[in-house]
Chain A
Amino acid sequence: MRYSGWQVLAQGLLGNGGWRPAWRDPAPKPAYDIIIIGGGGHGLATAFYLAKEHGLTNIAVLEKGYLGGGNVGRNTTIVRANYGLPGNSEFYSHSLKLWEGLEGELNYNVMHSQRGLINLFHSDGQRDAYTRRANAIINQGDDAQILDREGVRKLLPYLDYEQTRFPIFGGLYHPRGGTARHDAVAWGFARGADQRGVDLIQNCEVTGIDIENGRVTGVQTSRGAIRAKKVGIVVAGRSSQVAAMAGMRLPIESHILQAFVTEGLKPCIDHVVTYGMGHFYISQSDKGGLVFGGDLDFYASYAARGNLPMAEHVIEAGMTLMPMIGKARMLRSWGGIMDMSPDGSPVIDRTHIDGLYLNCGWCYGGFKAVPGSGHCFAHLIATDRPHEAAARYRLDRFATGRGLMDEEGTGSQHNLH
Chain B
Amino acid sequence: MQIPCPLCGPRDIREFTYKGHATYLDRPAEDAAPEAWHAYLHLRDNPAGATRDLWYHGAGCTAWLVVERDTATHAVTGARLAREVKHAG
CB within 8 A of B48: which of A302, A307, A413?
Answer: A302
Give the residues in chain B near A414, CB-CB below 8 Å.
Answer: 20, 44
Contact with B along A296-328 (1 / 0, CB 8 A): 001111110001010000000000000000000
Which of B17, B38, B44, B51 contacts A399 (CB under 8 A)?
Answer: B38
Check if B14 sits within 8 Å of A309, measured CB to CB.
Answer: yes
| Binary interface encoding of chain A residues 178-207 relative to chain B, with 1 for a CB under 8 A from any of its CBs, else 0 | 000000000000000000000000000000
Say whether A355 faces chain B, with CB atoms less than 8 Å apart.
Answer: no
**Which of B13, B34, B35, B42 makes the CB contact (< 8 A) with A342?**
B42
User: Which chain A residue shows the least CB distance to B16?
Assistant: A299
Residue B18 contacts which of A254, A299, A309, A412 (CB distance < 8 angstroms)? A299
Task: List A contacts of B74 (CB < 8 A).
Answer: 301, 303, 307
**What separation, in Å, do the CA atoms of A414 and B45 have in the docked complex?**
13
Q: Check A399 against B34 for contact (C-beta < 8 Å).
A: yes
Contact with A along B11-55 (1 / 0, CB 8 A): 011100111110000000000001100110111111011010100
Which residues from A are CB-within-8-Å of B39?
A: 249
Q: Which residue in B14, B21, B43 is a CB contact (below 8 Å) of A251?
A: B43
- How many Cβ-Cβ contacts under 8 Å join chain A to chain B? 70
In the complex, the answer to whether A250 meets B46 with C-beta atoms within 8 Å is yes
A309, B46: Cβ atoms closer than 8 Å: no
Residue of A250, A299, A398 with most chain B CB atoms under a 10 A cut-off: A299
Q: How big is chain A's contact interface, by range?
A: 20 to 34
Residue in B13, B20, B45 whose CB lies within 8 Å of A309:
B13
* Residues 39-87 of B contacting A (Cβ, < 8 Å): 39, 41-46, 48-49, 51, 53, 71-74
B44 and A252 contacting across the interface, CB-CB below 8 Å: yes
Asked if B88 is at the interface (CB within 8 A of a chain A CB), the reply is no
With A298-B18, A300-B53, A309-B13 in contact, is A240–B71 under 8 Å at CB? no
Question: CB < 8 Å: which of A240, A342, A413 contacts B45?
Answer: A240
Contact A413 B72 (CB under 8 A): no
Task: Answer yes or no: A107 CB below 8 A from chain B CBs.
Answer: no
| Complex CA–CA separation, A301 to B49 (angstroms) | 9
CB distance A240 to B46 under 8 Å?
yes
Contacts of B13 in A (CB 8 A): 299, 307, 309
A250 touches B43 (CB 8 A): yes
Q: Is the interface of B mostly helix, strand, loop or mixed?
A: mixed
Contact with B along A219-241 (1 / 0, CB 8 A): 00000000000000000001011
- Nearest CB in chain A: distance from B6 CB, A: 19
Q: Which residues of B contact A254 (CB under 8 A)?
A: 46, 48, 71
Known A302-B48, A302-B71: A253·B20 in contact at CB below 8 Å: yes
- Give every chain B residue within 8 A of A253 (Cβ-Cβ): 20-21, 44, 46
Instruction: Say whether A57 faces chain B, with CB atoms less than 8 Å apart.
Output: no
Residues of B within 8 A of A303 (CB): 71-74
Q: Quick check: B43 and A415 within 8 Å, CB to CB?
A: no
Q: Which residue of B lies closest to A300 (CB)?
A: B71
Question: Of A241, A300, A342, A412, which is in contact with the most chain B CB atoms at under 10 Å from its CB?
Answer: A300
Which residues 367-400 of A have a CB within 8 angstroms of B? 398-399
Contacts of B71 in A (CB 8 A): 254, 300-303
Q: Which residues of B contact A309 (CB under 8 A)?
A: 12-14
- A251-B19 contact given A300-B53, A302-B71, A399-B35, CB 8 Å threshold: no
Specify which of A309, A398, A399 lies most central, judged by the most chain B CB atoms within 10 Å of its CB.
Answer: A399
Could you list 24 examples of A-B contacts with CB < 8 Å? A238-B48, A241-B48, A249-B45, A250-B46, A253-B44, A298-B18, A299-B13, A300-B18, A300-B21, A300-B46, A301-B74, A302-B48, A302-B71, A303-B72, A303-B74, A307-B13, A309-B13, A309-B14, A399-B34, A412-B42, A413-B20, A414-B20, A414-B44, A415-B20
15 further interface pairs, Cβ-Cβ under 8 Å (given A252-B44, A300-B53, A399-B42): A240-B46, A250-B44, A251-B44, A253-B20, A253-B21, A254-B46, A254-B71, A300-B46, A300-B71, A302-B71, A307-B1, A398-B42, A414-B20, A414-B44, A415-B18
User: Measuring CB to CB, which residues of chain A are less than 8 angstroms from any residue of chain B?
Assistant: 238, 240-241, 249-254, 298-303, 307, 309, 342, 398-399, 412-415
Q: 4 tightest CB-CB pairs across the interface, nearest first?
A: A240-B46, A251-B42, A302-B48, A299-B18
